[in-house]
């Protein structure tokens, strides 16, 4: 079985499963294959060269409707992590105390010749993309009018911020801390400050592969869930950082990775935001209970796409969400490890203000009807 991944901290459960020999213990032969980016992941799944993969939030849903180059039916097996990304503003904006959407509008007109924010994000189907757009909209900033979005790898975001090509970016750790360490930017907010319950990356696979290799897939999921349990223990962070620092994985200093793993309520983000966080606030969670492949997350993402005009209002989000996830395989793997899972098809999703419940008719419409940009054309 070939499992693809991109060298990011949110793929830690896959890396830890290999380093701890958990795939072998589950009697599954796995080749973990690093890929250069998300297009390579998509193409590997399409071609059948990858069987399972670390993937973007929107991968499975777009495969079900044949968009964004997905030609093979892909379904979500589990969430690999929740949270874990940072919104980083340039040192120029930080010097103007532009740490909130409300303060960015005025500040950008003082540092940008085009009076428009240049915003970096990993990909338009990433959780970071939706988090960043939601954060900007809270300050009335509109893509196409006040901001332009540039899809970049996280390392390129840091380079572009240093050269002045970007004003801000949203990316998974450790890139926010790296920008801060280099003195080229400051973490303004964390992704969970914007959408508290958001999934970061997924473990997906080809539906055709599941049909022929169900037992092996469940074994691989057991190994990854066991790795999630290991990743959730702070005492294991130094060992995890040492493993992930190596060239086959993140190829970044272990100390930087460890610092990212240890981000707490008061160690990232502007001072006023950090001071307001509750003690139970978590920057990232690898908890197996949070790994359930929630169809609600898919509906929330599709509602965001409706909001921004990417898909038409009235899009059949519920049925697409149902086709996008494989909850029964997850329940089987989790139950064999004594991990409790949700019995609901669409469990509630916690938002910053309230709860997203797809059984409430107004839930999807309320997000889709939020203020839209004046003009917006998605980057390729």
Task: Write the pLDDT tens digit of every residue in 325-366.
Answer: 999 999 999 999 999 988 888 999 988 888 888 876 555 555
Domain spans in the chain, listed from the N-terminal domain onward: 85-194
Residue 108 is predicted with a pLDDT of 73
Residue 187 is predicted with a pLDDT of 96
- Tens of pLDDT, residues 158-193: 999 999 999 999 999 999 999 999 999 999 999 999
- Tens of pLDDT, residues 298-329: 999 999 999 888 888 878 899 999 999 999 99
**CA-to-CA distance for 53 and 1, rounded, in angstroms?**
10
Low-confidence ranges of the chain (pLDDT < 50): 369-380
Residue 270 is predicted with a pLDDT of 86
Residue 379 is predicted with a pLDDT of 31
CA–CA distances in Å: residue 311 to residues 62, 305, 317: 11, 6, 10
The second-level CATH assignment, the architecture, of 85-194 is: 3-Layer(aba) Sandwich (3.40)
Q: 56 with 125: CB under 8 angstroms?
A: yes
β-strand 74-83 against 168-172: which pairing, if any?
Answer: unpaired
pTM of the model: 0.92
- Contacts of residue 377, defined as CB under 8 A and 6 or more positions apart, other chains included, come to 144
Residue 127 is predicted with a pLDDT of 96
Tokens at 332, concatenated: 């089987």
């Amino acid at each position: 079985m070939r499992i693809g991944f991109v060298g990011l901290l949110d793929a830690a459960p896959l890396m830890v499963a290999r380093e701890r020999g958990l795939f072998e213990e589950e009697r599954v032969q796995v080749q973990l294959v690093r890929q250069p980016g998300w297009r390579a992941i998509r193409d590997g799944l399409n071609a059948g060269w990858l069987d399972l993969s670390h993937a973007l939030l929107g991968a499975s849903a777009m495969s079900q409707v044949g968009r964004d180059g997905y030609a093979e039916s892909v379904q979500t097996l589990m969430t690999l992590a929740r949270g874990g990304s940072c919104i980083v503003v340039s040192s120029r904006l930080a010097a103007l105390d532009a740490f909130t959407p409300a303060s960015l509008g005025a500040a950008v007109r003082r540092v940008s010749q085009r009076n428009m924010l240049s915003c970096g994000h990993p990909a338009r189907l990433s959780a970071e993309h939706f988090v960043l757009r939601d954060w900007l909209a809270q300050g009335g900033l509109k893509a196409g009018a006040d901001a332009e979005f540039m899809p970049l790898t996280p390392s390129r975001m840091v380079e572009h911020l240093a050269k002045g090509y970007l004003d801000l970016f949203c990316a998974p750790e450790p890139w926010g801390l790296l920008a801060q360490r280099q003195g080229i930017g400051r973490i303004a907010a964390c992704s969970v400050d914007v959408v508290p319950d958001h999934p970061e990356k997924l473990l997906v696979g080809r539906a055709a592969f599941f049909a022929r290799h169900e037992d092996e897939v469940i074994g691989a999921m057991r190994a990854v869930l066991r790795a999630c349990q290991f990743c959730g223990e702070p005492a294991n962070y130094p060992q995890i950082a040492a493993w992930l620092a190596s060239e086959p994985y993140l190829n970044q200093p272990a100390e930087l990775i460890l610092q990212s793993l240890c981000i707490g309520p008061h160690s990232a983000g502007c001072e006023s935001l950090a001071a307001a966080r509750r003690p139970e606030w978590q920057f990232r969670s690898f908890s197996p209970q949070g790994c359930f492949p929630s169809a609600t997350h898919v509906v929330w993402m599709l509602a965001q796409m409706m909001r921004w005009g990417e898909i038409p209002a009235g899009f059949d989000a519920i049925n697409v969400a149902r086709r996008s996830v494989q909850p029964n395989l997850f329940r089987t793997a989790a139950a064999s490890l004594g991990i409790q899972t949700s019995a609901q098809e669409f469990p509630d999703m916690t938002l910053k203000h309230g709860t997203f419940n797809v059984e409430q008719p107004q839930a999807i419409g309320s997000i889709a009807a939020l203020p839209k940009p004046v003009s917006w054309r998605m980057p390729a």
